């Protein structure tokens, strides 16, 4: 082996460190790994933050949607409760009508029994008299004919009442079936009439052409108190007018009674029931002047079809 000896007057050259290039590559590799690990960590953190933000947004949207659905369900429940109240009231009216029909049928049966007993008493009285046998036979024949006539009349009336009872029962079943319908829209007669008011002479002429109702125009001035003015088959009295606000007070005389309507507005339909058949009449005041109102009275033409409820007469 050779050995290097320092020359005289100079320094010795130090030997190069072994594997210096390999150590540099290891440091570079460690740095790259640290950078990759840092990148992966940052990417995971960024992804988690994005997911948390999206989850927060989705929770907010879901909560808002849930609140809207809860509000909608509450509104639907309130509407169904209102419909249930209206149909319940209607059921009550139908039950009263059915009870009235049954009471009328029972009264007819009692009257028939009373008439039969009266005829038997009359027949017995005449038979016990001193009349000849021929007259007794004639009386018997007459009594028999009257009994048959009364029986037929009673049977006819009972048949009519039975038909009406069946009709009322059918209506009651239909009403109960309507109760099972969800959110059924119920249209009142008041709404139907209110959609057909006339605000001037031309619109009134158009309503007359339809031919469903009769119209009677009026021009009434305020006079002394309790002085009524006749319009068709009712009477009207102006109590107060406000030309600026187009408001008025009026008294309606119908069926031996007086109905006072206060603080009514021009072109506002004022409705009331008339007679035993409960016919719906309507007055509309188109113009309110000082101590004066002008408008028309509307009444149904067909009294039978326009009746609010069936009325059973003796």
**Distances, alpha carbon 214 to alpha carbons 66, 190, 217, 274, 310, in Å:** 54, 17, 10, 14, 22
Residues 6+ away with beta carbon under 8 Å from 273: 279, 280, 281, 308
To the nearest 10 degrees (0 to 180), the angle between helices 133-180 and 20-127 is: 170
Q: Check if the beta carbon of residue 269 is closer than 8 Å to that of residue 197.
A: yes
What is the helix (H) or strand (E) element at residue 69, kind and residue range? helix 20-127
Domain at 190-300: CATH code: 2.60.98
Using alpha carbons, select from 309, 304, 259, 305 the residue that is nearest to residue 282: 259
Q: Check if the beta carbon of residue 252 is closer than 8 Å to that of residue 259.
A: yes
If you compute the radius of gyration of the chain from its CA atoms, what whole number of angstroms results?
Answer: 49
- pTM of this structure: 0.39
HSE on the CB side for 151, CA within 13 Å? Answer: 9
Kindly compute the dihedral angle of the four CA atoms of residues 33, 36, 38, 41, in this order, to the nearest 10 degrees: -130
Q: Check if the beta carbon of residue 216 is closer than 8 Å to that of residue 233.
A: no
pLDDT of the chain along its 314 residues, tens only?
Answer: 444 444 455 455 555 555 666 778 888 888 888 888 888 888 888 888 888 888 888 888 888 887 887 888 788 777 777 776 665 666 565 667 778 878 888 888 888 888 888 878 877 776 666 565 666 677 678 878 877 888 787 777 777 767 776 777 777 777 666 554 433 333 334 444 555 788 888 888 888 888 889 999 999 999 888 789 999 999 999 999 999 999 999 999 998 899 999 999 999 999 999 988 888 999 999 999 999 999 999 999 877 776 766 555 44
Q: Check if the beta carbon of residue 302 is closer than 8 Å to that of residue 296.
A: no
HSE on the CB side for 7, CA within 13 Å? Answer: 3
Strand partners, 250: 238, 261
C-alpha span between 108 and 86 (Å, rounded): 34
C-alpha span between 285 and 232 (Å, rounded): 16
What one-character DSSP code corresponds to residue 155? H
C-alpha span between 252 and 265 (Å, rounded): 16
């Amino acid at each position: 082996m050779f050995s290097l000896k320092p020359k005289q007057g100079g320094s010795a050259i130090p030997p190069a460190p072994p594997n210096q290039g390999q150590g540099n590559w290891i440091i570079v590799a460690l740095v790259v790994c640290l950078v990759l690990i840092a990148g992966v960590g940052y990417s995971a953190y960024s992804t988690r933050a994005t997911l948390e933000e999206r989850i927060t947004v989705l929770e907010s949207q879901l909560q808002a949607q849930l609140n809207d659905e809860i509000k909608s369900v509450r509104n639907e429940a309130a509407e169904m409760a209102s419909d249930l109240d209206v149909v319940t009231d209607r059921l009550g009216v139908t039950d009263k009508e059915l009870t009235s029909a049954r009471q009328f049928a029972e009264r007819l049966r009692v009257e028939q029994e009373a008439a039969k007993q009266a005829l038997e008493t009359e027949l017995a009285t005449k038979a016990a008299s001193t009349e000849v046998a021929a007259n007794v036979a004639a009386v018997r024949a007459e009594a028999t004919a009257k009994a048959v006539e009364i029986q037929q009349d009673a049977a006819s009336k009972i048949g009519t009442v039975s038909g009406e009872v069946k009709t009322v029962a059918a209506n009651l079943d239909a009403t109960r079936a309507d109760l099972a319908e969800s959110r059924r829209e119920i249209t009142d007669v008041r709404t139907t009439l209110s959609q057909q008011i006339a605000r001037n002479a031309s619109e009134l002429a158009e309503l007359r052409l339809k031919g469903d109702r009769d119209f009677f125009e009026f021009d009434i001035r305020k006079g002394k108190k309790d002085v009524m003015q006749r319009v068709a088959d009712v009477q009207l009295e102006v109590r107060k007018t406000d030309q600026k606000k187009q408001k008025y007070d009026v008294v309606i005389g119908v069926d031996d009674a007086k109905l006072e309507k206060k603080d009514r507005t021009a072109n506002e339909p004022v409705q009331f029931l008339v007679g035993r058949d409960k016919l719906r009449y309507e007055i509309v005041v188109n113009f309110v002047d000082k101590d004066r109102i002008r408008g028309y009275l509307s009444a149904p033409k067909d009294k039978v079809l326009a009746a609010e409820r069936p009325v059973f007469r003796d």
